[in-house]
Structure 1
Amino acid sequence: MKEEFVIRPALPEDRPAMERICAHTWESGDYIQEVWDEWLAAENGPLLVVELDTVGVVSLNKVTRHPEGQFWLEGMRVDPDYRGRGIARRCLDWNLAYAREQGGRVVRLSTGDYNTTVHRMVARVGMERVTEGTLRVGPALPGGRRPAILGPEDSDAVARFWRGSPVLAAMGGLYSRDWSWRELSAAALAAMLERGEVVAERAPDGNLAAVATIHHHAGDEEMWVGIADGEPAAVQSLALAIRAGAADAGAGEARAMLPRVPWLREAFLAAGYEPDDWDDELWVYELRLEQDEAGEGERGH
């Protein structure tokens, strides 16, 4: 007999089921418990669960809408007892259909380099791997030299810098933010310049020798580097200065999700950014919906 399941918005009373499912994610634990309430209240996309017949909730995932028609999929979890039944694939189809209905232009997700099951699943719906990232962490550096913060008056120079960036090309035109990846568009750069989230190391002639994007949420222990490029020595100096900026912001550490660019990883290592306890690589996949003519995903049961 065919199993029937329903995909629906999550409710506060689904927390016990979520905790049961997430207890099996990694030996070190899961982050979903920490963001569950935030995701429930979020207005930027649904938090979903899957109910299977009379069993109850057996899966969950979050869809997040980013600016400029970008959608990010995260937090896909399936109860170990119900894996291999096509639940994750049905959720992925639902998510893609939702993004299309909402006028989405592109859908992305990340998964571990070791997760071959997900690699095969996303390839079947046409998603392609566009970049990789590995986490490096540097402790905050109180009293150090802080980075130069750029503003809207620097927008032309910053735009020229990123247009010729090999690192941006290696990252598929993306930058990382809060464990997700987004396009480094003109609008995104303008917003970050307004917020003081673009920092630089200048050459003696005043030109930009290295540039990075950063972000820090008040009260968080981490300041994140979204992307960095430039002359290797200048990038190393900038990465060190960002550790000082993290200390000034009240963060305990600076974090960078670095692409597979050897000299960049070496520059950050020289600036005191070491591998974290989690030392795998995240692979980022995307599907551009304007090029996806099949539109096979259907929302529903």
Structure 2
Amino acid sequence: MTEPRIRRARADDHEDVVAFTRETWSDRDVEDYIPDAFEEWVETDGPEQRTVVVEVDGSVVGVCQGVVLSEHEAWLQGMRVDPDHRGSGIALSMMDDLLSWAREQGASVARDMVFSWNGGGLGLSRAAGFGPATEGRWAQPAPDPSASPGLERRDDPDAAWSHWQRSDARDHLSGLGVDTDEPWSLSEVTRERLHEDCQRVISLRDETGTRATTARIRQRERNTDDGVETWAVYGHSAWDSPDAARALFDAVAADAADLGVDHTRVLIPETCRHVSVAAAADGRISDEPFFVLEADLTGSP
């Protein structure tokens, strides 16, 4: 067996990558997105995106991608290793390569996301030098054209920013929200993002001030056995009370209905207060949380 070799991914690696990722989570009835995403990853690689593979004996046995999300934030994703080669250090070598690359691009922090049931992924992230950043979950209010929030809606980015800044949701999420460009990644929510990058900012107020906020950042499609599903994604959320949460999810339901999408996904903090309030307000939440971990890139390589 030859020594593992890390290199940039190529289009002709697709067949090898599909072979060891098509059943990544077959025991959980969860489809891996890598077989569908890999070709696009290779096509779009550039100064702010790097997809690497590990080759052994002429075959690709590992894949991972790094993305620059902002001037100082990087994101690692899609870590996969052929089951026959797990435990041999391949995953760590890819993460080390991408962390070095992220430093070269000027990033001071790198993050990744691991679902709570993925013990192997959590252990790998810690072994690579990542520590805990935050935990989140998805509220999923159903689109409803009859939904009517019990608070006045104003699409005011400045009001939304001020409310987010003083909210406990911001503290619990370490200031992070779903990135506006890269799916399934989190980056810092900024005032500029609310003004320039979100599809719609929703702020709800009463006579005393702003009581709840969120922002729609994208619409996406997903192929299923039954056809194409459409989703509206809301990158962060905050509310002052259970009533404000109920109004916020009603506003999301109405907004999604106006778009004509099938489903919604709203980021909420993974705390007992936030999850229980979301469950009481709407009742539709994801089954399990996810963890975001981060690595400080400002030390000596």
Q: Given the two structures, how large is their TM-score scaled by the length of structure 2?
A: 0.85
Structure 2 gaps of 5+ residues are 223-229
Give me the whole-angstrom Cα distance separating, in 2, the residues matched to 1:219 and 1:145.
26
Selected match of 1:111 from 107, 111, 114:
114
Whether the 8 Å CA contact 1:201–1:235 is kept in 2: the answer is: no
Give me the whole-angstrom Cα distance separating, in 2, the residues matched to 1:258 and 1:160.
18
Give me the whole-angstrom Cα distance separating, in 2, the residues matched to 1:167 and 1:99.
28
Give me the whole-angstrom Cα distance separating, in 2, the residues matched to 1:111 and 1:218.
21
Which structure 2 residues correspond to residues 174-253 of structure 1 after superposition, within 5 A?
174-177=176-179, 178-192=183-197, 195-205=198-208, 207-217=209-219, 221-232=230-241, 233-253=243-263
1:254 to 2:258 alignment: no
Q: Deviations over 1:136-190 (max 9, x none)?
A: 3232113433783524xx42x3332222111110011111243211111333333
Whether the 8 Å CA contact 2:111–2:292 is kept in 1: the answer is: yes
Structure 1 gaps of 5+ residues are 296-301
1:183 aligned partner, one-letter code: E
Give me the whole-angstrom Cα distance separating, in 2, the residues matched to 1:257 and 1:15.
32
2:88 aligned partner, one-letter code: R
Give me the whole-angstrom Cα distance separating, in 2, the residues matched to 1:114 and 1:104.
29
Q: Deviations over 1:161-220 (max 9, x none)?
A: 22211111001111124321111133333324xx44321111134x21111122223667
Q: CA deviation at 1:286?
A: 0.7
2:143 aligned partner, one-letter code: A
2:297 aligned partner, one-letter code: L
Structure 1 moving runs of 4+ over 6 Å: none
The equivalent of 2:138 in structure 1 is 135
Q: Given the two structures, how large is their TM-score scaled by the length of structure 1?
A: 0.85
Note closer, same or farther for the CA distance 1:275–1:183 as it changes in structure 2 (3 Å cut). Answer: same
The equivalent of 2:297 in structure 1 is 289
Selected match of 2:63 from 53, 60, 74:
60
Selected match of 1:47 from 43, 46, 51:
51
Give me the whole-angstrom Cα distance separating, in 1, the residues matched to 2:43 and 2:146.
38
2:112 aligned partner, one-letter code: L
The equivalent of 2:90 in structure 1 is 87
Cα root mean square deviation, aligned: 2.2
Give me the whole-angstrom Cα distance separating, in 1, the residues matched to 2:18 and 2:175.
36
Q: CA deviation at 1:244?
A: 1.6
Give me the whole-angstrom Cα distance separating, in 1, the residues matched to 2:219 and 2:65.
21
2:142 aligned partner, one-letter code: P
Whether the 8 Å CA contact 2:199–2:215 is kept in 1: the answer is: no
Give me the whole-angstrom Cα distance separating, in 1, the residues matched to 2:117 and 2:300.
29
2:202 aligned partner, one-letter code: V
Aligned residues with identical type, % of pairs: 28
Whether the 8 Å CA contact 1:219–1:251 is kept in 2: the answer is: no
Note closer, same or farther for the CA distance 1:235–1:181 as it changes in structure 2 (3 Å cut). Answer: same
The equivalent of 1:4 in structure 2 is 3
Whether the 8 Å CA contact 2:160–2:202 is kept in 1: the answer is: no
Instruction: Give the number of the structure with larger relative contact order, counting CA–CA contacts within 8 Å between residues 6 or more apart.
Output: 1
Structure 1 window deviating more from structure 2 (213-222 vs 125-134): it is 213-222
2:282 aligned partner, one-letter code: G
1:102 to 2:105 alignment: yes
2:135 aligned partner, one-letter code: E
1:23 aligned partner, one-letter code: R
Give me the whole-angstrom Cα distance separating, in 2, the residues matched to 1:39 and 1:149.
38
Give me the whole-angstrom Cα distance separating, in 1, the residues matched to 2:36 and 2:278.
29
The equivalent of 1:170 in structure 2 is 172
Give me the whole-angstrom Cα distance separating, in 1, the residues matched to 2:281 and 2:259.
19
How many matched pairs? 283
Give me the whole-angstrom Cα distance separating, in 2, the residues matched to 1:228 and 1:136.
10
Whether the 8 Å CA contact 1:149–1:196 is kept in 2: the answer is: no
Whether the 8 Å CA contact 1:24–1:80 is kept in 2: the answer is: no
The equivalent of 2:125 in structure 1 is 122
Give me the whole-angstrom Cα distance separating, in 2, the residues matched to 1:149 and 1:58.
51
